[in-house]
Amino acid sequence: MPRIPIIMPQLGESIAEATVVRLAFQPGDLVEADQEVMDVETNKATMGVTSPCKGRITQWLVELQQSYPVGAVLAHLEASEEDARRLGFDGASPAQQQKLPSEENPRVPMARPDAVEPTVRGLPVPASAGGASYLSPRMKARMTELGLHAADLAGIAGSGAAGRVTVDDFEKFIATLEQLQISPASTMRVAVADAMRRSWTRPIATVGRSVVLDPLLAHRRSSDPKPGPALYALRALAVALEENTAPAGRLIGGKIVHPHSIDLGFAVEVEDGVLVPVLRSANRASLSEMTNRYQELVDLARERRLPAAAQGGSIATVTNFGTFGLEWATPIPLPEQTLVLGLGAGRVVPRWDNASKQFQPATEAQLTLSFDHRVLDGGGAGRLLGRIAELLENPSKL
């Protein structure tokens, strides 16, 4: 019977490879068309790989916890002649047939790197971008060999001219590290670190102000289902950006590129990192219409099973650092974004009431807006944050 390959799919525009974490079937098992046969993990989510047609799995060509590039052959199916013709595998050359697994040649080595680490690509700042310090060609070559970046040298005291880090300084630093306890960083942690390093190549500034949460809390008590505070903030940001998209523009060369859609992300803490699900066209749906979808994406993110349609492409992020008891923070926008809105923990404070001419208790929280200072100045950021606060204090407008 014809043998059809199961191939590692393109799991997103920035994904080049994925790690196999679960095999759902054994060799010899029958599978249906489009049935999930394995789970693979990228630095963004855990996803299923499906069979191209109905058939019997002959043999796996992969190992658990190993990474394989997009396009790699993961297994083969014994399929019908009809499915082989439909998928274009009926005319395999003799040389190609010889490369397929068989009883005489049960395992064919795959052309893949010995150690593939999932990476993030397609971001606006080149991965090779260094810091302000001078790096000699010899130093750059040694760092490339070890997979290090300029930011990793921040803890080295240089002995060269004007405090430059020499190769000898670098080698002593590496030797010192080898004497300490070292544990491998997870794929998620490496991806977050890479994104933050890219983000920090830009001048990032933060403005903040207080917001009274009592109207929001009262609105939430009367709602069913009940939106979370971060969703209120996300919806307020969407309304404010719909009124003026310029603050969310990206500086590309000498031009500001305005977003074509108000797609907003929100930070969800997962094991050893953060994922950012995306609500598309957040300006077109009301708060109540977004609530169930928001919670669904939170649950999928925590399971590392976010669909591709809910990943990437957002123009700003909302993060509720108040869930950790923090009143103030300065979050950093993602590399492809200009803005990140933060919401702090609410606390009861005395607030002057003009009507009663006395202080009254009020639940107050701090809002922060971190932004790319090349695109937005403090005044524009302050006006945007003021509009967001105004909407949060009048939740019926959301």
**pLDDT for the residue numbered 90:** 63
Burial class (CB in 10 A: 0-12, 13-18, 19+), 340: buried
Within 10 Å of residue 245's Cβ, how many Cβ atoms? 17
Greater confidence (10 vs 359) lies with 359
Cβ atoms of 143 and 137 within 8 Å: the answer is no
**pLDDT for the residue numbered 37:** 93
Q: What does the alpha-carbon distance between residue 332 and residue 204 come to, in Å, rounded to a whole number? A: 7
Cβ atoms of 17 and 113 within 8 Å: the answer is no
Q: What does the alpha-carbon distance between residue 110 and residue 107 come to, in Å, rounded to a whole number? A: 9
Q: What does the alpha-carbon distance between residue 375 and residue 372 come to, in Å, rounded to a whole number? A: 6
The pair of structure tokens assigned to 38 is 């394995």
Q: What does the alpha-carbon distance between residue 76 and residue 73 come to, in Å, rounded to a whole number? A: 8
138-188 pLDDT, tens digit each: 778 888 888 787 777 766 777 766 567 778 888 888 888 878 887 877 777
Greatest CA separation for the chain: 92
Q: Across 9-18, 97-106, 239-248, which has the greatest mean pLDDT?
A: 239-248
Q: Cα torsion for 287, 289, 292, 294, to the nearest 10°?
A: -50
Supply the pTM of this predicted model.
Answer: 0.64
Quickly tell me which residue has 């790699």 as its tokens. Answer: 72
**pLDDT for the residue numbered 136:** 72
Residues 6+ apart with CB under 8 A from 125: 198, 199, 201, 202, 335
**pLDDT for the residue numbered 126:** 32
343-382 pLDDT, tens digit each: 999 999 999 888 889 999 999 999 999 999 999 999 999 9
Q: Please tell us whether the domain made up of 203-397 is placed in CATH 3.30.559.10.
A: yes
CATH of domain 3-99: 2.40.50.100
Least confident of 100-114, 135-149, 239-253: 100-114
Interval 291-304 mean pLDDT: 93
The H or E element containing residue 214 is: helix 214-221
Q: List every span in the chain annotated with CATH 3.30.559.10.
A: 203-397
Query: Could you tell me how far CA 280 lies from the centroid of its own chain?
Result: 15
Mean pLDDT score of the chain:
83
19-74 pLDDT, tens digit each: 899 999 999 999 998 899 999 988 667 888 999 999 999 999 999 988 888 888 99
**pLDDT for the residue numbered 98:** 38
Could you check whether the bond before residue 225 is cis, i.e. omega within 30 degrees of 0?
yes
pLDDT at 97 over 50: no
Q: List every span in the chain annotated with CATH 2.40.50.100.
A: 3-99
Cβ atoms of 318 and 237 within 8 Å: the answer is yes
Q: What does the alpha-carbon distance between residue 23 and residue 204 come to, in Å, rounded to a whole number? A: 44
pLDDT at 113 over 90: no
**pLDDT for the residue numbered 14:** 59
Q: Using alpha carbons, select from 14, 10, 13 the residue that is nearest to residue 40.
A: 10
